[in-house]
Amino acid sequence: MPLQFCADRSARNRTYGLRETPNHTAPTWVDPRVGQIAAARGVGDLDAFFAPNFKTAMPDPSRLKGMDQATRRFAEAVQRGETIGLIGDYDVDGATSTAIVIRFLRLLGHERVLWRIPHRIRDGYGPNTRLVDELAASGANLLVILDSGTAAIEPVTHARQAGLDVLIIDHHEAGAELPDAVLVNPKRPDEDRSLDYLCTAGLAFLFAVGVIRELRAAGFFPGNPPDIRCLLGLVALGTVADVVPLVGLNRAYVALGLPRMAEIAGIRALVDATGESAFTPVSCGFVFGPCINAAGRIDDMTLGAEILTTDDEKRAEFLAKQLHEMNSERQKMQKHAVQLAKDLAIQSGQDKTGGVIVLYDEEWHPGVVGLVAAKVREAFDRPAIIIGNSGKGSCRSVDGYNIGENVIQAYQSGLLIKGGGHGAAAGLTLDPTKLDDFRSFMNGTIEGFVPPAVMLDLVVECGMLEPDLVEAFTALQPFGQGNAKPRVAVVGGFVRRVQILKGLHIKAWLSGDAGDTVVLLFNGIGTPFGDLIAQSEGRMLDVVGTAELSTFSGVTSAILKPEDAFVGADRMAHAA
């Protein structure tokens, strides 16, 4: 639906549309405006959406290609008492999926399991022959690769030659050639991709459901099978931290898993180490997840996986303190690298080209390049690829541009040593002598790209953003990728007053015919967008952002945290 604002262009040069609402019936206890938002976002079953449960959300694991073969072989290994080897990945999804399988095996009474996590610097992304050989030498008969492996042609071939059966549970984009393994990946070329929003932690839980079914059919359990819902806390953590869409089954995973996170000793220890006691998507994404990720970023992800597998309270406490300290060190490294990267983007002119920003500095630690890429993408609103020490890089994209697909094409074209990923993010290893060729290739893939319009959930007149409406938005939780907080446009107001807080933050009062709306922009001073808001007193201003509740002196009010704005004429000129 076309919209009219007080200016032709927004501060961030974006275009906006309002989702059209189809006919729908929402539960009676849900605010009609919130039901309208969910329906407009494409939610079909509103009853299931607003009350997530597995009865309606859990698909038959057999829907996924390779799942029946994988669960059958895994169940056989359990029944025969075989040694099972696992290779995870060095991010939270890799650590949680590894922990899920290990804890699942414990529930089955199967202790013969070995596991390895590649070292980010020594090994790089994905399984390798060294890890395969270690597991084979230790007696593994079955190798399960988690959160990687779809592109690992040579390591899997090596494992098969060593006599191992190989199962892969992964969610990354697949190339034209697939490994010689049983592959469970909703992004396989022959899949319908109806479950392609799942991360590996979510797939691992589905896999466990399938294995339980196989073992039950084989008469393995003398009584009832184990209750694997105790693994949902790990699934929720992996799902949020991997920034996959919180829709469908993922919504149920997170809604039902967050309350069970405290069942994991390592997560309880992280609560003590960090002081964060709430289990929410925010705490998973910005506290617990980063602490676990810090091990893989600047040290050894084995520590991150171990804290999720150990039941030893003392060991968990020790690991939590280590991880919290690592995360503090990571934050310092990241802050320094982000500033250097922004400066380099401007100095090289890449901030103005409209293409993919590709930056390289041998001093950047491979463990922070992904975080830096996200900040550069955010600062310039362009896909960003940050390459650091040893040519190891990470990529973050904008809506509508599939960066993983194009990185895979670059790898297949011989421009990369390694490369893989999905629509929003990718990883790679590059020979720095091919930097210019790689940059040219990536910029060729984005020629003609037009970012899609940003869709609004609600447009309200200035003064109509009331606390009861913002409170009603909570029915849409859990918020995250694919289920963001409602994006609201407040229109028809002028900036009555601007206040600078602590020299950093900007508070603006908008006034309109229906009343006032308060806008609060944190850390805005010194940024182009923030300075624009700060200098807009007396002008018409339409603001796009997310709403929150603020309580001060016992009074609760709604505030808008701005993402973008349209700055119009002076109020008096507008009235004339």
Q: What is the mean pLDDT of residues 446-459?
A: 91
At 275 the pLDDT is: 96
Quote the DSSP letter at residue 478.
S
At 229 the pLDDT is: 96
Contact 86, 285 (CB under 8 A): no
Type of residue at 545: G
Q: Is residue 408 part of a domain?
A: yes
Type of residue at 175: G
Contact 562, 508 (CB under 8 A): no
Contact 484, 510 (CB under 8 A): no
Residue range 315-370, pLDDT digits in tens: 999 999 999 999 999 999 999 999 999 999 999 999 888 899 999 999 999 889 99
From 211, 228, 245, give the residue that closes a domain. 228
CA-CA-CA-CA torsion sign (441, 445, 446, 452): negative
CA distance 5 to 456: 13
148 and 201 assigned to the same domain: yes
393 and 504 assigned to the same domain: no
Q: What is the mean pLDDT of residues 134-158?
A: 96
- Please give the sequence-ordered ranges of beta strands (E in DSSP) within 124-220, or none if there are none: 142-146, 165-169, 182-184
CATH number of the CATH domain containing 137: 3.90.1640.30
Q: Is residue 239 part of a domain?
A: no
459 by DSSP, 3-state: which?
strand
Q: Is residue 166 part of a domain?
A: yes
574 by DSSP, 3-state: which?
helix
502 and 391 assigned to the same domain: no
Q: Is the predicted pLDDT of residue 214 greater than 60, yes or no? A: yes
Q: Give the burial string for 42-62 (b: 16+ CB within 10 Å, else e).
A: ebeebebbbebeeeebeeebe
CATH number of the CATH domain containing 566: 2.40.50.140
Type of residue at 461: E
Q: Is residue 48 part of a domain?
A: no
Contact 516, 463 (CB under 8 A): yes
522 and 421 assigned to the same domain: no
359 and 441 assigned to the same domain: yes
Confidence (pTM): 0.86
Q: What is the mean pLDDT of residues 419-429?
A: 87
Q: Is the predicted pLDDT of residue 574 greater than 60, yes or no? A: no
At 1 the pLDDT is: 55
CATH number of the CATH domain containing 387: 3.10.310.30
At 93 the pLDDT is: 96
435 and 518 assigned to the same domain: no
Q: Is residue 147 part of a domain?
A: yes
Q: Is residue 343 part of a domain?
A: no
At 518 the pLDDT is: 96
Q: Is the predicted pLDDT of residue 109 greater than 60, yes or no? A: yes
Instruction: Identify the band that residue 121 occupies on the pLDDT scale cut at 50, 70 and 90.
Output: confident
CA-CA-CA-CA torsion sign (263, 264, 266, 270): negative
Query: 543 — alpha (psi -120 to 50), left (phi > 0) or beta?
Result: beta
Instruction: Identify the band that residue 97 occupies on the pLDDT scale cut at 50, 70 and 90.
Output: very high
Range of the domain at 202: 61-228
501 and 414 assigned to the same domain: no
From 184, 206, 228, give the residue that closes a domain. 228
Whole-angstrom Cα Rg for the chain: 25
| Structure tokens, 339 | 């500033």
| Structure tokens, 177 | 């050639």
Helices and strands (H, E) in the chain, number of each type: 22, 18
Average pLDDT, the chain: 93
432 and 537 assigned to the same domain: no
Q: Is residue 549 part of a domain?
A: yes
Q: What is the mean pLDDT of residues 379-402?
A: 92
Residue range 245-283, pLDDT digits in tens: 999 999 999 999 999 999 999 999 999 999 999 999 999
CA distance 154 to 161: 10
CA-CA-CA-CA torsion sign (381, 382, 383, 388): negative
CA distance 563 to 89: 34
At 505 the pLDDT is: 94
Q: Is residue 174 part of a domain?
A: yes
At 576 the pLDDT is: 52
Partnered with residue 490 across adjacent β-strands are 460, 543
Residue range 3-54, pLDDT digits in tens: 899 999 899 888 999 999 999 999 999 999 999 999 999 998 999 999 998 8
95 and 204 assigned to the same domain: yes
| H/E segment holding residue 136 | helix 129-137
401 and 500 assigned to the same domain: no
Q: Is the predicted pLDDT of residue 575 greater than 60, yes or no? A: no
At 176 the pLDDT is: 86
Q: Is the predicted pLDDT of residue 529 greater than 90, yes or no? A: no
At 13 the pLDDT is: 82
Of residues 529 and 360, the one with the higher pLDDT is 360
As for how many domains the chain has, the answer is 3
CA distance 166 to 160: 7
162 and 213 assigned to the same domain: yes
Residue range 236-245, pLDDT digits in tens: 999 999 989 9
β-pairing, 418-421 vs 505-512, is unpaired
Q: CB neighbours of 555 closer than 8 A, spacing ≥ 6?
A: none
| Structure tokens, 159 | 């494992």
From 228, 247, 267, give the residue that closes a domain. 228
**What percentage of the chain has pLDDT greater than the value 90?**
82
At 560 the pLDDT is: 97
440 and 503 assigned to the same domain: no
